[in-house]
Structure formats: C-alpha cells, structure tokens
Structure 1
Amino acid sequence: MIRRRNLLGAGLLGIGGAAASFSNPNQSGPGTSPSAPAVSRNRRQLNMVTTWPKGLPGLGEAAERVAQRIHDMSDGLIEVKVFAAGELVPAFESFDAVANGSADMYHGAEYYWTAKSPAYPFFTAVPFGMTAQEIMGWIDYGGGQELWDELSADFGIKAFQGANTGHQMGGWFRKEIRGLDDLVGLQMRIPGQGGDVLRALGGSAKALPGGEIYQALQTGNIDATEWVGPWNDYSLGFYREAPFYYGPGFHEPGASLAVGINLNLWNSFTKSEQALIQAACESVNHTSLGEFTYQNARYLDILTSEHGVKLRSFPDDVVKAMAEASRDVRAASGRDGIEKRIYESFEAGLKTMSDWAAVSDGPYYAARELGQASRER
C-alpha cells in the first residue's frame, strides 16, 4: 500500500501548472502562475453538478460516492465537490455546463440530453431494451463505450457509467389502466424514448426533473409519473398522490446513469489519474446495482404493507402496443450517421444477449417461482 501511494503521489505531483487548484483548467486564476508554490499545484479541486434533488438516496448518493472514491483513491489529491440540482445550475442544464466548462463534471441520466442527439437514450435505457447486466455488457464489451466516446466528444465531453438502478417500475397512476383507451390523453412525467412511446399511444409526455415531480402530481398538472423504483419513489412521496403502482417498467428495464467530464479537463489528466477516475466510476456503477436491488425489495414491502399502495400490471393489450411502438421509436432514433451506428450496435447486442437470457435468466425465474409455489402449498 505504501509503495502504491508513493507511486500515485509521484504521478500527481508531476502534473505541473495544469494541475493547479482550480475548478476548470481552461480558466485563469489563483494557482495557475508558474511562480505559484509547489504545494498548491499538486491538487485539483473540481465541481460536479447533478440532475438529482439534494439528499436523494440512491441516485444522489451515487454522485457523492463517485466524488468520495475519487478522493480516497487519489489520497485526497483530487477533490470533487457535489452540487445537487439547482444549487449551481438547473438539473437539465448540467450537460451544457460541463460542455462549456463552467462545471467540471455531471452525474445524471443521458436520456435527458435527447435534444442534443436522439442516440443518447441508448446509454441510459430504451423501451423494451437492455437490462442492467445487458447494458453493462454492451457498453463494456460490445463496442458501446467507443461509440459513446465518439458521440460525446462532439460536445466536448467524456462519459462513463456511474450507477445503475436496475429494472424500474412502470409508474404511479391516479387511476387504473384497464386498456389502451386509458392512455389516450394521459399526461405523464416520462422522459426519453418512453415518452415517445406514450405519445404514439395517444398520451402526453413531460420531462420534469425529480425535484418538480411531486408538485406537478399534487396540483394535477400530470396524471401519472414514473421515477425509479420503490426505494427512490418512497422518498419522494408519490404514493400520497397516486395509489396505483404499475409494472413492469417497459421503458427502463435497466437504467444506466452517467458521469460526464469536460473533455479538455479529461485530456489534462495523467494516464494514472484517468485510470483512477474510471475505476471510481466503475466501482460505483457496479455496486449500486446490488444496493438498488436490495433496497427496492425492502421499500416495496413498506409501500404495500404500511401505505396501502395497490400493485398493478399493465394489461396485455397495453404491453403489446407498447412493444410495437417501442420498436418504431428505437429505429427512428438511428436513421443516419453516428446515431445509426449506435442504434445498429445496440440492436445487435440486444439480440445476442436476449438469446442467452431466453435460456438462462427467463427459465430460471420461472423455475424459481414454480419451486416457491410448490413449497407454499
């Protein structure tokens, strides 16, 4: 350990003026002068903006963990201060803040940037797309990261996976969904391609940041909302306004969250610093999946047993219509250029891993349910 720390410290101490203590390496300020004391040039103080409400468990904590692990792995030589949505910039302005260098990093969901490119949702979640394990497989081993790098570089950003919520729920509804007619005219908070699917079926979709959803539901500006799953949904209190909790979450079968870093800042890091930051993101990404899986199970029981939440499944005709619309929506986002290559790579990876899931995960879950039912009898 001592040897590793000595080597790491030596690499960071050799950064020079570019590694001065400042938020953005492209701005001048204290510590950037060649005459600045050496002790002020061996540290970086960075800021991270997020799309999450302050104090939010799971999502907000993931951003804090990325910052903490970067700090710990660098022996405190890289400090990252985390700002919740609205503290430094509004939630949906995080991307632009990092792209233009007014912030160093963001933690958020890439499908919030659909207006920048229709391919961005593929790096969070798309309807009837990849599960958490599958999107990790595609990004890490199926060429997804390379395509993501190419897309993000056009906006001056380098991005990594930075958490995963696992399979999400379909959402909270004021009234029951008994068939396709109940979706016509429905106003729902649902971003990304999931919103496009709802529009295709006659509903109205809105993209609201987490901190604005409850009030919109409470005042009747929306009739329904999706967010994440029982753990995070409980913390925002949606069950108090909409008693029907629907699944499955067709729109987000495994939502990958992202850490985006200003590309000029990223290129100013040494190789060892880059590896350290990437490792911190990977660590939080992979450990968060276990946390969400466990906590969602706990809070589902709390919601149903203590708060009278009514669990429902979407009717078969709704699921079939959503699946058909989803194929069209995914295809429409990849018509040419980099977007087409991302779409084709994603679909190829989805097909490969779906074939495997058809003989592994699916049959296993069915067998487990059958075994459990036999024991209960």
Structure 2
Amino acid sequence: MDRRGFIAGGTLLGSAALATPALAQGTLPEIRWRCASSFPKSLDTIYGAGEHVAKRVAALTDGKFQIRVFAAGELVPGLAVADAVQGGTVECAHTASYYFVGKDPTFAFDGAIPFGMNMRQTSAWLNAGGGRELLRDFFAGYSMVSLPAGNTGAQMGGWFRKEIRTVQDLNGLKMRIGGFAGNVLQKLGVVPQQIAGGDIYPSLEKGTIDAAEWVGPYDDEKLGFQRVAPFYYYPGWWEGALNLSFYVGKSKWEELPQQYKDALESACRDSTIETMAKYDVQNPQALRRLVAAGTQLRPFPREVMQACYKAAFELYDETAAKNENFRKVYEPWKAFRDSQFQWFRVAESTFDNFVYFMHAQEQQQRR
C-alpha cells in the first residue's frame, strides 16, 4: 500500500471507530415510565423535585427515556406509592420513605430520623458514608431501588391550636406527623395521625387534629395552615433534613441500559441540590410574610426537646432489639452520626453560632 492509500485507509478506519459510539447510542430503546408522586402539584418545590428528575432524564437521553410524573391521587393515593411500585402498577415513585414505617421502621433511615443529621451530614452518609449500600440491601427485600432525589433541609415544628409550655401539654394532643416521629411523640402521650399533605388543612380546620406539621414556611403558607392554627413552632427536631426518594421497581431498574441508569442517578443528585436551593430561597421570604400576617412564632421549650430526645433514643434501642433490619442500619448510622457531630461542633457549628449571634446584635443596634 502506498503512503496515500495508507492515510486514506487509516482515516476511514478512524471514522468508523469514532462512529461506533454514535451508532450504539442509536440502538438505545425508547422507554416510557409513569411516576406516582406522594405530593400534590400545588406544592411546586417538593412535587417539583420529581418533575425535575423527569426533565433531566429526558435531556440526558435525547428524549428517549421519558418519565411522566403524576400527582398524589391521580394514579394512586399519595401514601400508597410504595405499594404501587412494589406491585408493578407503576414503574417508579417520588416520595418520602418515612411514610412507610408501618411496613418496617427501617424505612425511616431513607427519609429522616428524629434528632438525626442535617442535610450535609445526611448527604455524606448516603453518598459516601455507606448509607446507600445499607439501604440497597433493605429495599431489595421490597423489590425496589431507592435513589436520593431531593431534600428539604431542617423543617419547622408545625402548627398548634394552643401553646406548648410543658411536656404535659403534649398528653392527648392529636397531631398530624409523618414517619417515626409519631412513635416518639406517642411515648409522651401524643396521638399521631398519618395524613397526606392535601388532607391536612381540612383536618386541622375541623378540629379533627389539634396540630400538624408539614415542611416549612413556603409549603405551609401554600397549604394555609396559618388560617386555622395561630402558633408556629420550631425546630422540627424529627426532620433535621428530610431526604426525598425516587423509588424504582427492582426488575425495571435491572432492565435499564447502563446509560439510562447513569442518567437517572445524575438527575436525582441534581434534584437534591435544586430542591434544597429553592427552599433556602423561598422559606425566609415566606416566614417573614407569615409573621407579618400575625403568625406567632414559638421555640419548643428546652424541657420538651429534652424529653423528646430521650424518648427517641429509647425507642431506637427498643426497636433495634426486636427488628434485625433496623439494627443493621441503626448501628452504623449512629456511629456515622457521632463522628459527624464531633466534627461539626469544631468548625461548622462554631462558625454558624458566632456569625448568627453577631448578626442578631447588629440588627438590635439598628433598631
């Protein structure tokens, strides 16, 4: 072969090699999934986290992998989405795992544990601290894969018809509260109610419940709780950071081409950042509006917080002693939490507390 022929031949071979990935891309299937959300469309941030996943997946796959999100109640009730995925009624769901602690309290670790970790610590545990590996084994028992897909950060303590001054004020209180926190408060006499987001307002308005928590100022204002309960408590110690989850049926996950799995994982990670950013922008503005309109902001008394903390860790020890799934996750989770708290007390908390104190002093001087 002469030099010119060699170069031409090499060029042709190189072009064919470069074209191979494009051809492979062309062979990827078109997939259409339905996603059942646990949230109403009116809550654009938390419901929107699921929509964000769907839009990013479509963008990353040139529209070949499409996910259509349905609001709570459109396909199945908001609290039935796990059953829908597990039973194959839908391919996937966007939810908060602690809704399903009635199946097994271990679900709470995929959402939020009372007096647990903040958003950064939770993200560290799930993405680099072994949390996802532990939860993958647990969810396999329910024929599902769970991907972190959104976070609310620290939540508020909820809306109350009457003030909470002592632990005794909790006795007999009927409260809408999600997840494992209801079991903690039950130890202190609260009667917990598991109610989907769209049904909370009428229950509070009619007096069926005495108190309710949801997320924070932005979502709570949209749901109108300030119109039926005057006292707004903080912090939501049961949700230092609520991780939202994207459930996928295990068989459906295994059928996905690797490129689609990568796209879905990337979209879920992006949704976590996006959702937290939106709440951090929207919550301060909403809280100012609520207070200006007459909402009475109250911190939980320290006595109440301490009693709840004690009850929470008593419950964890009791649950771990009788539930092997819970114990397998709880012990490494607690060890990771201990390590994170030691570090955050050194730098993060010291910095935060100092600048918040100085800022409060500056504001007082301006008045």
TM-score, normalised on structure 1?
0.89
Work out which of the residue numbers 300, 309, 315 in structure 2 matches 1:323. Answer: 309
Deviation at 1:69, TM superposition (A): 0.8
SS at match of 1:228: coil
Q: Is the 8 A contact 1:190 1:207 kept in 2?
A: yes
Which residue of structure 2 aligns with residue 277 of structure 1?
264
* Partners of 1:75 and 1:334 in 2: CA distance: 46
Which residue of structure 2 aligns with residue 333 of structure 1?
319
* Partners of 1:314 and 1:10 in 2: CA distance: 61
* Partners of 1:66 and 1:132 in 2: CA distance: 19
Query: 1:144-159 alignment to 2 at 5 Å?
Result: 144-159=131-146
**Structure 1 stretches of at least 4 aligned residues deviating more than 4 Å after TM superposition:** 6-12
Which residue of structure 1 aligns with residue 192 of structure 2?
205
Deviation at 1:153, TM superposition (A): 0.8
* Partners of 1:10 and 1:112 in 2: CA distance: 44
Please state if 1:14 is matched with 2:23.
Answer: no
* Partners of 1:7 and 1:59 in 2: CA distance: 41
Deviation at 1:334, TM superposition (A): 2.6
Work out which of the residue numbers 239, 244, 259 in structure 1 matches 2:231. Answer: 244
Deviation at 1:145, TM superposition (A): 0.3
Please state if 1:59 is matched with 2:72.
Answer: no
Q: Which amino acid aligns with 1:273?
A: Y
CA spacing shift, 1:374–1:243, aligned 2, 3 Å:
closer
Deviation at 1:148, TM superposition (A): 1.0
Partner deviation per Cα, 1:318-357 (whole Å, 9 max, x = no partner): 0110110111122333334332110011101110101011
Q: Is the 8 A contact 1:334 1:342 kept in 2?
A: no
Which residue of structure 2 aligns with residue 39 of structure 1?
none
Partner deviation per Cα, 1:125-145 (whole Å, 9 max, x = no partner): 111111111111101111100
Query: For the aligned residues, what is the CA RMSD?
Result: 1.4
Which residue of structure 2 aligns with residue 94 of structure 1?
81
Which residue of structure 1 aligns with residue 15 of structure 2?
none
Which residue of structure 1 aligns with residue 294 of structure 2?
308
* Partners of 1:227 and 1:108 in 2: CA distance: 14
Work out which of the residue numbers 169, 176, 181 in structure 2 matches 1:182. Answer: 169
Partner deviation per Cα, 1:42-86 (whole Å, 9 max, x = no partner): 311110001101231211111111111111111100111111111
Deviation at 1:122, TM superposition (A): 1.1
* Partners of 2:126 and 2:70 in 1: CA distance: 27
TM-score, normalised on structure 2?
0.91
Deviation at 1:370, TM superposition (A): 2.7
Deviation at 1:109, TM superposition (A): 0.3
* Partners of 1:280 and 1:100 in 2: CA distance: 25
Query: 1:33-44 alignment to 2 at 5 Å?
Result: 42-44=29-31
Q: Is the 8 A contact 1:8 1:272 kept in 2?
A: no
Q: Which amino acid aligns with 2:343?
A: W
Please state if 1:345 is matched with 2:358.
Answer: no
* Partners of 1:117 and 1:196 in 2: CA distance: 13
* Partners of 1:329 and 1:198 in 2: CA distance: 10
Identity of aligned residues (%): 34
Partner deviation per Cα, 1:91-143 (whole Å, 9 max, x = no partner): 11100110111101100000011122211101111111111111111011111
Q: Is the 8 A contact 1:119 1:342 kept in 2?
A: yes
Deviation at 1:166, TM superposition (A): 0.3
Deviation at 1:8, TM superposition (A): 7.5
* Partners of 2:295 and 2:140 in 1: CA distance: 44
SS at match of 1:142: coil
**Higher Rg of the two aligned structures:** 2
Which stretches in structure 1 are left out of the alignment for 5+ residues?
1-5, 16-41
Q: Is the 8 A contact 1:189 1:213 kept in 2?
A: yes
SS at match of 2:282: helix
SS at match of 1:192: coil
Q: Is the 8 A contact 1:331 1:343 kept in 2?
A: no
Work out which of the residue numbers 96, 103, 128 in structure 2 matches 1:116. Answer: 103
* Partners of 1:70 and 1:118 in 2: CA distance: 31
* Partners of 2:217 and 2:21 in 1: CA distance: 41
Matched positions, count: 345
Q: Is the 8 A contact 1:158 1:261 kept in 2?
A: yes
Which residue of structure 1 aligns with residue 7 of structure 2?
none
Deviation at 1:11, TM superposition (A): 4.3
CA spacing shift, 1:152–1:313, aligned 2, 3 Å:
same
Q: Which amino acid aligns with 1:321?
A: A
